[in-house]
Amino acid sequence: MTTLPRLPSNHLHPEPVGTVVSIREWFRRARPVSQGRFENGQDPAEFLAPNIESDSQEEHALAQDSWLIVGLGNPGAKYEDTRHNVGQMVLDELASRIGGTFKAHQANARVVEGRTAPGAPKLVLAKPNSYMNLSGGPVANLAQYYGVPVERLVVVHDELDLPFDSLKLKIGGGHGGHNGLRDIAKALDTPEFVRVRVGIGRPPGRQDPADFVLKPFASSERDNLPILIADAADAVEGVVSEGLLATQQRFHGKAGA
């Protein structure tokens, strides 16, 4: 086991308890100014550079392999069974497939990370803790935290303009009046992310759509809801493993889609 060479104590800068200092910052602060070397004569760059390079390569590889999957909805038990939260229902299904549990994240979200199979891309499943119309901040923060570009962001959401029990996928486009999509596009300064649109249908009669989306699914819909959620989860897996076009061809041809 390699032992870290001892640095002269007068070159260390104490930090308040709880402060996290990166290895690069530690190297910058700890490097002896006068001698330019450790007490054993070794150049700090010779000791640390390979480790820094290795860490950087590992982080880069992780980012290249990761997809950020966001399920839109409103927080709290009051909303968890409503139509507007079907995106988060899909994430619950994906979390069960990877055997993970959602945990609080500093980006104002609940997150679980994992893979659906060995060798499969890494999924970062995220439910923003914000209300639907403020989803953009948590999504942008998560994308930055994990180093995931917009090309590997998938947003799962309810879609009024599709009949219940149907599913469509697309990249980019307008928000169609969906405030969650609107805020994400604004926060990212681009609408060019993949959307998995889970059909909930239009409200009957003259019911206000804003009220309709905040109601639970009807009893006549509940038998098919688990199938719809499973299909949407399959679609997410398809996008990250097969690509958008192949997944569109598979799901857009299904009956009811």
Measured CA to CA in angstroms, residue 132 lies from 95, 142, 189 at distances of 21, 16, 18
Q: Three-class SS of residue 125?
A: strand
The DSSP line for 13-76 is ----TT----HHHHHHHHS-SSSSS-TTS--HHHHHHHHHHHHHHHHHHHHHHEEEEEE----S
To the query of whether residue 157 is one of the catalytic residues in this protein, the response is no
Please state, in angstroms and rounded to a whole number, the distance separating the CA atoms of residues 148 and 142.
8
Q: How many CA atoms, within 13 angstroms, populate the side-chain half-sphere of residue 159?
A: 23
69: phi then psi, degrees, rounded to nearest 5: -115, 115
Q: Are 91 and 73 in contact (CB under 8 A)?
A: no
Catalytic residue selected from 13, 84, 105, 178 = 84
Please state, in angstroms and rounded to a whole number, the distance separating the CA atoms of residues 244 and 250.
10
For residue 98, what is the DSSP state? H
Q: Give the number of other Cβ atoms within 10 Å of residue 18's Cβ.
A: 5
Please state, in angstroms and rounded to a whole number, the distance separating the CA atoms of residues 67 and 240.
7
Catalytic residues: 84
